[in-house]
Amino acid sequence: MDAKMQKWLPVFGGLAGTAVVLAVGIFFIVRPFGLQGTGDPLIPPDQARAVKVYIYSGQLPQPSMQVVQVNKEASLPEQIRWIMRKIAILYQQEYKKEGRTLDFGIRSLYVRKNGLLILDFEKSVQYNQFHGAWEEWQLVRSLVRSILENYPELNQMKILVGGQEVDTLAGHVDLSRSFILGDIE
């Protein structure tokens, strides 16, 4: 290799490394936004199941609804996590102008034989997520309707934080009981 080529070798190596980092970064940044629409290119059509995700926000009495795809081959808890990620993405879009994010921080999900779904959130979900009673109630409504309406085998939902029963997420909505679909209207 001549001296001229050796001089440029580190530059080309750096450019190639940068290109790889950018490609991987773009995949992980853009990929979640591709999951929001009516189709998901990451789920083969024969494995897709359409579910309705409801977002209650603002002062509107009716939620917005979006049909999204989940992998029907996945376990029920995995499908529910998928729906919750989609709800978080949609809420982040709703509150983007305020620079807010939503992080459920799910510790675990339990499905009991009697149709009870237990969502156990990390303790961090209680802090800096909600700005008032209405917003907290809207999120609980979105979770309950999006999950219970799509999975008839589930008939109620209980929310825990840090593995413990709590009175509320942010001081407004009573979480000491489980929710059924009729509770959210």
Q: Would you state the pLDDT for residue 164?
A: 86
Q: Read off the tokens for 183.
A: 């509770």
Cα 150 from Cα 157, distance rounded (Å): 13
Q: Are 119 and 157 in contact (CB under 8 A)?
A: yes
Please say whether the beta carbons of 62 and 145 come within 8 A.
Answer: no
Q: Are the C-beta atoms of 53 and 143 separated by less than 8 Å?
A: no
pLDDT at 121: 85
Q: Say how far apart CA 104 and CA 96 lie, in whole Å.
A: 17
Verdict on whether the full-model pTM lies above 0.75: no
pLDDT tens-digit map of 41-81: 467 778 888 999 998 876 667 888 999 889 989 999 999 98
pLDDT above 70 for 126? no
Judging by beta carbons within 10 Å of its beta carbon (0-12, 13-18, 19+), is residue 22 exposed, middle or buried? exposed
Residue ranges per domain, the chain? 1-34, 76-184
One-letter amino acid at 22 equals L
